[in-house]
Amino acid sequence: MASITFLFLIISFLSLKDRTIALSSSSCALQSANVEFTLSTASHSASNPTSSCSLQQCNITSSDNLTCSLSPTPCFNYRTANNISYCAPAIDCPVLQPCNNMTYSCASNDSVCIVNSCCSPIAVCLPLLTTNFCIRGWSMTGFMNVVRYAHTASTLLDGKVLVTGGYFSGRYLNSVEQYDPSTGVWIQTGNMNVARGLHTASTLLNGKVLVTGGIGNSGYLNSAELYDPSTGVWTQTGNMSFARYYHTASTLLDGKVLATGGYASNSYLNSAEQYNPSTGVWIQTGNMNVARQTHTASTLLNGKVLVTGGSGNSGYLNSAELYDPSTGVWTQTGNMSFARGYHTASTLLNGKVLVTGGDGNSGSLNSAELYDPSTGVWTQTGNMSFARGYHTASTLLDGKVLVTGGSGNSGYLNSAELYDPSTGVWTQTGNMSFARYYHTASTLLNGKVLVTGGYNGGIVWNSAELY
C-alpha cells in the first residue's frame, strides 16, 4: 500500500495538466513498476533544449560529473545557491513553490531551494522526492532530529543504527538517536553522560555499544560509557588510562576492544589499551612503535590488528604495524607507498585490506593500495576518480567497497565511487544529494548503506540518505 501511495504522489506531482504533452515514452523503474509521466514543452521549460536557461541534460558530460545519465529518465541539472547539483525531471514552473530569495531556504525539509530552474529570477523549491527518479543508487530517507558532524554511527544487532554525539554550533553534543531501516524514522533515545565528538563507538558481541574518549566541551576525554539497546540507557564504565581523540577502537575476536593512539594535551600517543566487557576495566597493553593520530585500525581475519598511517611528530606517516592480541606485542610491517592520514581502511572478503585516499604531505590523495597479511606487502591498485580525505568507505555484501564524500583539493565532495576487488578498478556511481565530510556511513543488514550528517564547509546536515 505504501508503494502505491508513493507512486500516486509522484504521478500527481509530475502531471502538468493542460500545459503538457507526453514526450516519447518517458518512464523509470520504481519498485519494479514503470511510472509514465509527461514533460512540459513550454518555452521556459527545462525540457526545451532551445530555451535560454542554464539547465543541461544529465547525460551530457560536464564539469559537474553527473552520473545519473544511466537512469532511463530524462534528467536535468538543478543547482542550489551554493552550487550543489540535483538531477530531476523537467517540471513546469507553476508546480513549484517559490523559496526565500534572501536565505535560499524552503519551508519544508523535504524540499531544496534551486536557483537555475528557468523560473528565474524566482528561486523555487524542488521536492527531493522527484530526485529519486534520476539519482542512480541514492534516495533520501528520514532526517535526524539533531544536526551534527564528527559523530559516530553503529549498526546494532537488530539492524537499527545508533548515532551518538558529534558537534554543532560551537558545542559538542551528548544527544543520541536511532534509525529504523524498516520505517526510515529517527527516534531520540537516552543521552550520553558526556558530550563528545571525534570519539569512537564499538558494537560489542553482547549487543551493547561502547563509546570511548573524544573531545568534549571542557577538553580531551578518557571516559567511556555503554549503551544498552534493550533499555535505551547509558551507563558509565571504566575510564581509559589516557585521554585521547582521533584514536581508533577495534573489536577483537574475543570480544575485547583495543584502543590505539590518538592525540591529547599537545601530544601524539603511541599507547594502547584493552577493554574487557566482562569486567568493565581497561588494561594497558604494548605501545605502538610510532605515536600517531588520524590513523586506521583493521581487525584481520587472523585476529591481529593492522594500524596504518596517520599523522605524528614528523607529519603524515606511511608506516604500518600489527598487534597480536595473544602476546600484546606490536610488530612493524611493510610501509605503504604513500604517507596519509584521514584515510580509510577496509577489510575485504579475501582478507586483504584496502586503504584509500586521505591527506598527504602535499594535499589530498586519490591513490589506493592493498595490504596482503600473508606477505606483509603493500601493492598499489587503481586510483580513485577523486582525491579525498575525511571520507567513508563501506564494504558491501557483494565484496565491493563504496567510498563517499570527503574533502578534496578543490573542495567538499558529494561524489561516490565503487571499487571492485576482482578487477582493481574504481567506477563512479550516483552522487549523494549533499556534499559532506565528517559524516558516517553504515552498511545495513539489508545491504544498503546509510549516510548521515556531516559538513560541507558552510552547512551542517541532519539529512540522511541510502545507497
Mean pLDDT of the chain: 83
Per mean pLDDT, which of 14-28, 63-77, 133-147, 212-226 is the most reliable?
212-226
pLDDT at res. 160: 98
| 275: number of Cβ within 10 Å | 26
Domain boundaries, the chain: 2-136
What mean pLDDT do residues 130-159 have?
Answer: 85
* Least trusted range by pLDDT, from 39-43, 98-102, 211-215: 39-43
Q: Is 417 helix (H, G, I), strand (E, B) or coil?
A: strand
Residues 405-460 pLDDT 10s: 999 998 999 999 999 999 999 999 888 989 999 999 999 999 999 999 999 999 99
E strands present in 213-266: 215-216, 219-220, 224-228, 233-237, 248-251, 257-260, 263-264
Peptide bond into 127 cis (omega under 30): no
What mean pLDDT do residues 368-380 have?
Answer: 98
pLDDT at res. 10: 34
Structure confidence at residue 128 as a pLDDT band (50, 70, 90): confident
What mean pLDDT do residues 109-123 have?
Answer: 77
Q: Is 78 helix (H, G, I), strand (E, B) or coil?
A: strand
Of the two residues 94 and 345, the one the predictor is more confident about is: 345
pTM: 0.74
- The residue length of the chain stands at 467
- Cell numbers for 14, please give them: 509530475
pLDDT at res. 328: 98
Strand partners, 76: 57, 88
> 100 CB contacts (<8 Å, ≥6 apart)?
106, 113, 123
Residues 376-419 pLDDT 10s: 999 999 999 999 999 999 999 999 999 999 999 989 999 999 99
On the CB side of 169, CA atoms within 13 Å amount to 5
> 21 CB contacts (<8 Å, ≥6 apart)?
38, 41
C-alpha to C-alpha distance for 448 and 437, rounded to whole angstroms: 20
Structure confidence at residue 18 as a pLDDT band (50, 70, 90): very low
Structure confidence at residue 126 as a pLDDT band (50, 70, 90): confident
